A = this chain, B = another copy of it.
């Protein structure tokens, strides 16, 4: 990972500011001959798109993606795929004060510390709008992985309110505005988040991404570990403060016997009797489900005035009007899925390069 590029063989470079003319990315290293049209990408962008319920920002962006290169007659050519989304709803006036004063929890102050100069409109480069391009790149990654690899995300806690895993239903995820796998929790969250939204406040969330059908062998010791790359990928998403794999922090409380994923032969195939490890051992996929969770802090833009300072060095009270998500974690679900997809596609190509292995190629 280097500034605005991630991945090694499947490489994604994103660019663009929240209120510039457009945002985009270049997807490099995609194998040739894969069927790809804008229609393969758009549904994932639509899942992340703002303004779809009262629980996400009311900014209206159609987020129509255009493929500008790398595809000929509906198939990838192996050359870089340039994707572009025009910004249409840029109410920069909403953000006029961002230039002058630092919003607590936002990157404004850090950008000025680093660069001494920033584009303040809508948060500029630090806006979560950038994640739209991750979702677009993730759609390409899914095509490389093929239908045998299924990557799905869900919100498993809003604030302190966790789902009941006994009621987990993947179908439910697409049927409520929270990507919540527990329909009863979804109903409760609606009431809670309405209260938070009306209070001008915000709340954090925990999200989970599960990848099924990942070919064993993906990942590489020691500094190309699959879990290390997933950790970096998820931690790079706006507002994320923690990442865990499998049992994660709970594993720290276990005894060796409790944490062991025992094995048995089923015919000529190794079967694991548990999945505390989250599908990864020594940085390498075992073929079990890969399970990753990440914590998203509450949206920093809130109506409550907070103590802060101005760029000119004066004390100030700051509150953010504008249009914001009361729980920014919701829209991070498709982003988390996309990041996992990109990491897996990259490791598929790398694994294939080093070992010649062809399993799992989605062509």
A178 located at the interface, meaning its Cβ lies under 8 Å from any Cβ of chain B in the complex? no
Copies of this protein in the complex: 4
- A262-B308, A282-B107 known; A3 and B224 CB under 8 Å? yes
Q: Which residues of B contact A224 (CB under 8 A)?
A: 1-4
Q: Is the CB of A222 within 8 A of B4?
A: yes
Compute how far the CA of A82 lies from the CA of B125 in the bound complex, rounded to whole angstroms.
13
Contact with B along A334-351 (1 / 0, CB 8 A): 000000000000000111
Q: Identify 22 residue pairs between A and B in the complex whose beta-carbon atoms are under 8 Å apart, listed by A's number.
A: A13-B80, A14-B80, A15-B70, A21-B66, A69-B125, A72-B117, A72-B124, A77-B119, A77-B124, A79-B124, A104-B260, A105-B256, A106-B281, A201-B255, A242-B245, A251-B296, A252-B295, A256-B304, A257-B306, A265-B315, A352-B352, A356-B361
Q: Is the CB of B221 within 8 A of A228?
A: no
Q: Which residues of B contact A353 (CB under 8 A)?
A: 9, 349-350, 352-354
Shortest distance between the CB of A128 and any CB in chain B (Å): 11
Compute how far the CA of A268 lies from the CA of B242 in the bound complex, rounded to whole angstroms.
33
Q: Is the CB of A242 within 8 A of B249?
A: yes
A20 located at the interface, meaning its Cβ lies under 8 Å from any Cβ of chain B in the complex? yes
A33 located at the interface, meaning its Cβ lies under 8 Å from any Cβ of chain B in the complex? yes
* Stretch from A44-52, A163-171, A183-191, A230-238 forming part of the interface with B: A230-238
Q: Which residues of B contact A102 (CB under 8 A)?
A: 263, 270
Q: Is the CB of A307 within 8 A of B263?
A: yes
Q: Is the CB of B281 within 8 A of A109?
A: yes
Q: Which residues of B contact A238 (CB under 8 A)?
A: 282
Q: Which residues of B contact A259 (CB under 8 A)?
A: 105, 204, 297-298, 300
A143 located at the interface, meaning its Cβ lies under 8 Å from any Cβ of chain B in the complex? no
A39 located at the interface, meaning its Cβ lies under 8 Å from any Cβ of chain B in the complex? no
With both beta carbons as reference points, the residue of chain B lying nearest to A101 in the complex is identified as B263
Size bracket of the A interface: 35 or more
Q: Which residues of B contact A281 (CB under 8 A)?
A: 105-107, 109-110
Q: Is the CB of A241 within 8 A of B244?
A: yes
With both beta carbons as reference points, the residue of chain B lying nearest to A241 in the complex is identified as B251
Which of chain A's residues 257-303 have a Cβ closer than 8 Å to chain B? 257-265, 268, 270, 273, 276-278, 280-287, 295-302
Task: Choose one: B23, B28, B70, B249; the contact of A206 (CB below 8 Å).
Answer: B249
A321 located at the interface, meaning its Cβ lies under 8 Å from any Cβ of chain B in the complex? no
Shortest distance between the CB of A250 and any CB in chain B (Å): 8
A150 located at the interface, meaning its Cβ lies under 8 Å from any Cβ of chain B in the complex? no
Shortest distance between the CB of A71 and any CB in chain B (Å): 8
Q: Is the CB of A256 within 8 A of B202?
A: yes
- Please provide the 5 A-B residue pairs with the shortest distance between their CB atoms, ordered closest to farther: A107-B282, A353-B353, A242-B244, A204-B252, A110-B284
A205 located at the interface, meaning its Cβ lies under 8 Å from any Cβ of chain B in the complex? yes
Compute how far the CA of A227 lies from the CA of B241 in the bound complex, rounded to whole angstroms.
8
Q: Is the CB of B78 within 8 A of A114?
A: yes
